[in-house]
Structure 1
Amino acid sequence: MTPKKIILDTDPGIDDILALLLALSSKSEDLELLLISLTFGNIEVKNCLRNVVSMFHILEREMQWRRDNGKAEGYGTLRASRPVVAVGAEEPLESQKMLADYFHGTDGLGGIHATHPHLTASNPWEHLFDPAVDPESIQPVQKGAGPTDHSFLPSRLPAHKEILRALRENDPETVTLVAVGPLTNLAMAAAEDPETFLRVKEVVVMGGAINEPGNVTPVGEFNAYADAFAAARIFALTSPSPNSTLPPTESPLLPPYPAKLSKQLTLRLFPLDITLRHNLSRGQFTSAVEPLLAAGSPLAEWVNAFMGHTFRTLERLHPGHVGDDAQLSLHDPVCVWYALTAEDSHWASSADSPEDIRIETLGQWSRGMCIVDRRSRHKIDGDQESSSDHGLWLSTRAGNRILRMDGSPAEKTFGKILIDRLFH
């Protein structure tokens, strides 16, 4: 069986790390993780990089610990092939930067690098990603190249160029791009080479809120809010006429798309409406991790350190989230789980899919809001704006075509599935 190929664009972050661990813990015959592309978001991108490198450091120690104790190593995807790691966007395209360090901590993992320095990778790896080196003078990373003492392949190329490289080097419609942070890297890749970007099989996006309140404003979900322009530009590629839904801009780095593109982007959106239904309780986590802590698992010690911070933060922010009942919503891991199990018939999109969902970019109070046309109106066969259809919402030839996911095979059990995959 040919493994599924994915790119994971991420801003680690607590649930991002859980999503990465879920991907890497897969069997090698199920998944090949081609690229981890990093963006600002939950925290500054330099801290995202430190968290990813520390994750690999811990996984190397964990697999050695398992071997020493006669246990199955697990993490077949990681053992089979080393993913490229590339550093991307440091800030949004055209708006003020906002981080989610109020939840994740300044370092993204609840201060773990200060409280548990023995679990943090040392600094010599930083030069491997040195952006001072001219990217045009560097050959793209090749499989099998790079330092032998790391379980990842560092790249000095910007993340959006690595996304395009991965899509060029693989057959069209074979790579799924899972995006669980702001969509800045994706928007930069699509702006530079839209046709190469459209070689992707589908883009799986964690972002937005449709019928649920936002989590950073009353209507704005964090990823959509953090770079609304980028989200709007990626959503526009799902349209038969992409430029019909592009946000206004004067930036020469963000030109309109060509009038004719070879295809429309397939985009599956995982908004808060579905991700909030997939949770891990403190009680579930504690019962699973305590025996592993006692046995000396490095991975259990690392994850337990930042999850302790997470559950304390949930208690502080949300009424009713106390003790063993405190629940972490597994926003990002759900998207990876979809990429792994997409053929499961229990995955379901909304009854209205594909939907014309657009991201508000200019509103004073509504930045990042998902706008959906809820009017009951006849469609109009054309692509010219009329007095009865400002914004081409009713046009059959314009507007976005988003597949909004609304059902999964594991809403009640996903927390247990995740923990079992990570630790066994």
Structure 2
Amino acid sequence: MARKKIIIDTDPGIDDILAILLALSATPEEVEVLLISLTFGNIEVKNCLCNVVSMFHILEREVQWRRANGHPEGFGTLRAFRPVVAVGAEDPLEDQKMLADYFHGKDGLGGIHTSHPHLTPSQAWEHLFDPTVDPDGIQPVQTGAGTGDHSFIPSKKPAHQEILRTLRENEPDTVTLVAVGPLTNLALAAAQDPETFLRVKEVVVMGGVVNIPGNVTPMGEFNSYADAVAAARVFALTSPNPHTTLPPTKSAHLPPYPATLSRQLTLRLFPLDITQRHNLSRGEFRATITPLLNAGSPLAEWVSAFMAHTFRTLEALHPGHIGDDAQLSLHDPVCVWYALTAEDPHWMPSVTSPEDIRVETLGQWTRGMCVVDRRNRHRIEGDVESSSDHGLWLSRRAGNRIWRMDKSPAEATFGRIILQKLFG
């Protein structure tokens, strides 16, 4: 089986970090992480960068610790390949910015950089991402664990440009883009060069909600709410006629797509409907992490610190999430797991896929809502609006074509699966 190539567009974030760790824990035969592109979302993008650099710092220390104690080193793909790290969007395309620091903490990891400063590297790496300092320079970086391994390649270019570069440098249909934050970087890349963007094999999106309540408004999931215009623009590329679902925009730098595109985007949507069924309990986590903490694992100490904050927050926000029964939904790791195991026949889309799912961008109470047509009406062949079909919902030539994922190989055991992958 050919090695998979993936881009992770992310706003780390607690479950984002778990998702990245899951990808990097794979073997080099399984996957190569080409790029980690960062966006605002759960927190400000500068804090996302700090969290990713800290993650690489901890992984270097963890591999060194495992080697010294005779444990399998793991994280083979990280040791075989150096992902590029690029900083992207600081703000949504048009909407007022909303962050999720109420859940993740101001720094995105429950205040870990203040409470556990010995787990955070010095800030000497910041200039490596500063475009005003040697803007053409690009070099691998060692974050200070002393292992001799270079962890990542910093880029001084905006993340959306790095997404396009990565897609240009790889054959069409060989790179999967896993997007687990607001879709701003993707929308910017698609606006700048839609044909290059469409070289992607598929885009795997954690976002939206269809048949259950939202998590930031009654109808809205965080990622789709945080930049509804970006989500709507990316979704529109799945349409045979993207102009039929492209949202109205006030931004001059967001032109309409060309009238003719070479292909439609394949987009796999993982809404809350499926991701909320994949959980990790505090009891499962504690049973795995306690012996590793006692043995001195740097990764166990780091993850345990921000997960303690997470479970306390869950207790405060959700009735019934108490003690070992508290459950963290693994929204973002599910998407990475799909990218790693997409050939498993137990991954299944909804029976109605591909579906015409559109993102509401203008509503006062419905921003970010995933709208579907629940009317039982005949489809029509025309592509001109009529009084009986405002919005071209019934046209066979219009509308989006979203593959909404509905079933996975192991919903009930995914928490244990990710613990095993990360900690062995």
TM superposition score normalised by structure 2: 0.97
Using the alignment, how far apart are the partners of 1:45 and 1:196 within structure 2? 25
Which residue identity lines up with residue 140 of structure 2 in the other structure?
A: G
CA drift at 1:132: 2.9
Q: CA RMSD in A?
A: 1.0
Which moves more between the two structures, 31-40 or 381-390?
381-390
How far apart are residue 250 of structure 1 and its match? Answer: 2.7
Displacement of 1:133 after TM fit?
4.6
1:229: which partner in 2? Answer: 229
Tell me what 2:147 maps to: none
Determine if the alignment matches structure 1 residue 146 to structure 2 residue 140.
yes
Other-structure match for 2:309: 309
Instruction: Write the letter of the residue equivalent to 1:112.
Output: I
Q: Deviations over 1:184-231 (max 9, x none)?
A: 000000000000000000000000000010000000000000000000
Query: How far is 1:131 from its partner?
Result: 3.2
Query: What per-residue deviation string (whole Å, max 9, x for no partner) do you get for residues 77-134 of structure 1?
Result: 1001010000000000000000000000000000000000000011110000003358
CA distance, structure 2, for counterparts of residue 134 and residue 238 of structure 1: 39
Give a deviation string over 1:10-40, Cα, whole Å, max 9, x none: 0000000000000000011000000000000
Distance in structure 2 (CA, Å) of the matches to 1:23 and 1:75: 9
SS at match of 2:5: strand
Q: 1:133 to 1:256 in 2, by over 3 A?
A: farther
Q: Measure how far apart 1:383 and its partner are.
A: 1.1
- For the residue of structure 2 that corresponds to 1:162, the secondary structure is helix
Say if 2:94 is the partner of 1:94.
yes
Find the aligned partners of 1:21 and 1:105 in 2 and give their Cα distance.
20
Separation in 2, partners of 1:205, 1:359: 13
CA distance in 2, matches of 1:80, 1:105: 33
Match of 1:187 in 2: 187
Residue 382 of structure 1 deviates from its aligned partner by 1.6
Aligned pair 1:14/2:14, yes or no? yes
- Counterpart residue identity of residue 268, structure 1: R
Q: How does 1:165-184 map to 2 (within 5 A)?
A: 165-184=165-184
**2:344 counterpart SS class:** coil
Query: How much does 1:183 deviate?
Result: 0.1
Matches within 5 A, 1:336-347: 336-347=336-347
Aligned residues: 418
Aligned match of 1:298: 298
CA distance in 1, matches of 2:183, 2:236: 13
Post-superposition offset of 1:147: 3.8
Distance in 2, matches of 1:249 and 1:421, equals 43
Q: Is the 8 A contact 2:82 2:140 kept in 1?
A: no
Matching residue's letter, 1:421: K
Confirm whether residue 79 of structure 1 aligns to residue 79 of structure 2: yes
User: Where do 4+ consecutive residues of structure 1 move more than 2 Å?
Assistant: 131-135, 145-150
Provide the rounded CA distance (Å) in 1 between the counterparts of 2:368 and 2:13.
20
Q: Distance in 1 between matches of 2:20 and 2:402?
A: 25
Counterpart of 2:322 in structure 1 is 322
Confirm or deny that 1:270 pairs with 2:264: no
Could you tell me how far 1:344 is from its partner in structure 2? 0.3
- The equivalent residue for 2:70 is 70
Q: Could you tell me how far apart the structure 2 residues matched to 1:103 and 1:160 are?
A: 27
Are residues 1:402 and 2:402 paired?
Answer: yes
2:332 equivalent to 1:332: yes
Distance 2:141 2:40 in 1: 26
Contact 2:167 2:199 in 1 (8 A): yes
Cα distance in 2 for partners of 1:163, 1:332 equals: 19
SS in 2 for 1:212: coil
Task: Indicate the residue corresponding to 1:33 in structure 2.
Answer: 33
Q: Distance in 1 between matches of 2:126 and 2:332?
A: 26
Q: Using the alignment, how far apart are the partners of 1:44 and 1:416 within structure 2?
A: 31
Q: Which residue of 1 aligns with 2:358?
A: 358
- Structure 1 stretches lacking a partner, 5+ long: none
Residue number in structure 1 paired with 2:146: none
Q: Which residue of 1 aligns with 2:423?
A: 423
Q: Give deviations 1:321-377, integer Å, cap 9, x for gaps.
A: 000000000000000000000000000000100000000000000000000000011
* Residues in 1 aligned to 2:108 and 2:239: alpha-carbon distance in whole angstroms: 35
- Output aligned runs, 1:119-134, within 5 Å: 119-133=119-133
Q: What CA distance in whole angstroms lies between the structure 1 residues aligned with 2:256 and 2:244?
A: 10
Match of 2:390, SS state, is coil
Alpha-carbon contact 2:140-2:151 (below 8 Å) kept: no
Q: Distance in 2 between matches of 1:319 and 1:250?
A: 41
Q: Secondary structure at the match of 2:177?
A: strand
Q: Distance in 1 between matches of 2:46 and 2:332?
A: 20
CA contact (8 A) 2:142 2:152 kept: no
Aligned to 1:349: 349
Residue aligned with 2:90, SS: coil
Shift of 1:148: 5.4
1:264, 1:258 → 2: CA distance?
A: 12
Structure 1 counterpart of 2:416, one-letter code? K
Quote the offset at 1:291 in angstroms: 0.3
AA in 1 matched with 2:201:
K
What is the DSSP-based 3-state SS (H/G/I as helix, E as strand, rest coil) of the residue aligned with 1:6? Answer: strand
Give the secondary-structure state (helix, strand or coil) at the position aligned to 2:191: helix
1:3 to partner: Cα distance: 1.0
Structure 1-normalised TM-score?
0.97
